[in-house]
Amino acid sequence: MDIDRFVEECVAANKEVDAQAAVQEVLARAVHKPGAVMDAIGEPSRAGITVLHHTDTLTIFSAAWTPQMNLMPHDHLMWANIGIYSGREDNIFWRRQDDSIKAFSAEALFKGDTSALPLDAIHSVTNPLLKFTAAIHIYGGDFFETRRSLWDPETLEEKPSDGEIIREIFARENERMFGEAP
């Protein structure tokens, strides 16, 4: 896999009428050969986000999840495509209900799988495995600068979120796993 070519194909696909579907096709072709993605990006050894492309209209990064890492319910406020190239990602999908959210479905993604989330999706993510999970995440907008929401996993209280808050969560996971200060 050539990362630069992959990014170029995603950027071109993002100009199509149905940008999410076109980008999803590019992603599905890439993660169909998960070993090639792993060779190009590297095997995960710590939680983190490696940015491959970042503009106002498209964000692409590789995300690595520590063993048994959980991310509380959150939204993106833009479409998202996820492609797993190592491990497994379990998603619980939530809907707004009154002043809270309620779980309504789930999806397990395995190595080579992709998923397309609509712009109004709310989901929580778990790596249930005792090994790292890694995925390419593609967003139809500026993931890092968009103010979004996350929900407390116990109380389901809605709180503000953005790219920096998500990066802090990944840093805390490294501290949990390796004893490193965030």
Query: Cα(164)–Cα(182) distance, rounded to whole angstroms?
Result: 12
**Whole-number pLDDT of residue 31:** 97
* Predicted pLDDT of residue 44: 93
- DSSP class of 56: S
Instruction: Count CB neighbours of 12 within 10 A.
Output: 12
Give the C-alpha separation, 42 to 44, whole Å: 6
Per-domain residue ranges of the chain: 3-178
pLDDT of residue 118: 97
Query: Residue 181: its pLDDT value, please?
Result: 55
Q: Specify the pLDDT at position 182.
A: 47
> Which two three-digit tokens encode residue 32?
């169909």
Contact (Cβ atoms closer than 8 angstroms) between residue 108 and residue 88: yes
Q: With left for phi above 0 and alpha for psi between -120 and 50, is residue 145 left, alpha or beta?
A: alpha
CATH number belonging to domain 3-178: 2.60.120.10
For 30, the token pair is 């890439």
Between 19-31 and 3-13, two packed helices, what is the crossing angle to 10 degrees? Answer: 160
Any idea what DSSP says for residue 156? -
Amino acid 41: pLDDT? 96
- What confidence tens digit (pLDDT) does each residue in 105-153 have? 999 999 999 999 999 999 999 999 999 999 999 999 999 999 999 999 9
Distance separating alpha carbons of residues 11 and 32, to the nearest angstrom: 19
State the Rg of the chain over Cα: 16
Low-confidence ranges of the chain (pLDDT < 70): 180-182
Predicted local distance difference test score (pLDDT) of residue 119: 94
The pLDDT value recorded for residue 177 is: 87
Token pair 């959210």 is found at: 101
What pLDDT, on the 0 to 100 scale, is given for residue 180?
64
Give phi and psi for 167, each to the nearest 5: -60, -40
